């Protein structure tokens, strides 16, 4: 579970990440992230629409699984000043949230190691 210090909670912060953030996709998840927050540590939140899963128990279970994966990422990268917004875009009963989340966070790490100053957008050419 993410402690309160590592949660992205204010609407203005979430909107800032949505408007200015870089996007990374997997089949079921979308990650928007923005470098350089004022807190100087990773902050993240998970969003999911009612359209994706009708039952609240399913939505809550999926969000808990994503938060657990994000908690492991925060523990392994405690000093990165990064705001992350994970959106669950579609659901299937065979969805492996942990594998999808690890793949998504791996893409961020790969992009940061390719060019640590400016992350590349998917499909962008130089």
| Proportion of the chain in helix, strand, coil states, percent, rounded to 5 | 40, 20, 40
pLDDT confidence of 109, banded at 50, 70, 90? confident
Per residue in 9-65, pLDDT tens? 899 999 999 999 999 999 999 999 998 777 788 899 999 999 999 999 999 999 999
| pLDDT for the residue 126 | 41
pLDDT exceeds cutoff 80 at 116 = no
Residue 55 to residue 52: CA distance in whole angstroms: 9
Sequence spans of domains, the chain: 4-111
- DSSP state letter for 43: E
Residue 11 confidence (pLDDT): 92
Write down the residue that tokens 């470098």 correspond to.
35
Q: What is the pLDDT of residues 73-100, one digit of tens each?
A: 888 887 788 899 999 999 888 888 889 9
Is the domain defined by 4-111 classed in CATH 3.30.1330.40? Answer: no
């Amino acid at each position: 579970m993410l402690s309160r210090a590592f949660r992205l909670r204010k609407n203005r912060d979430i909107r800032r990440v949505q408007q200015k953030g870089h996007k990374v996709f997997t089949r079921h998840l979308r990650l928007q992230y923005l470098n350089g927050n004022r807190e100087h540590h990773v902050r993240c939140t998970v969003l999911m629409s009612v359209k994706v899963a009708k039952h609240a128990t399913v939505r809550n279970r999926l969000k808990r699984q994503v938060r657990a994966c994000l908690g492991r990422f925060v523990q392994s990268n405690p000093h990165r000043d990064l705001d992350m917004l994970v959106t669950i875009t579609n659901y299937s009963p065979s969805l492996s949230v942990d594998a999808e989340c690890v793949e998504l966070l791996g893409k961020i790490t790969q992009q940061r190691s390719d060019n640590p100053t400016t992350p590349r957008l998917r499909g962008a050419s130089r």
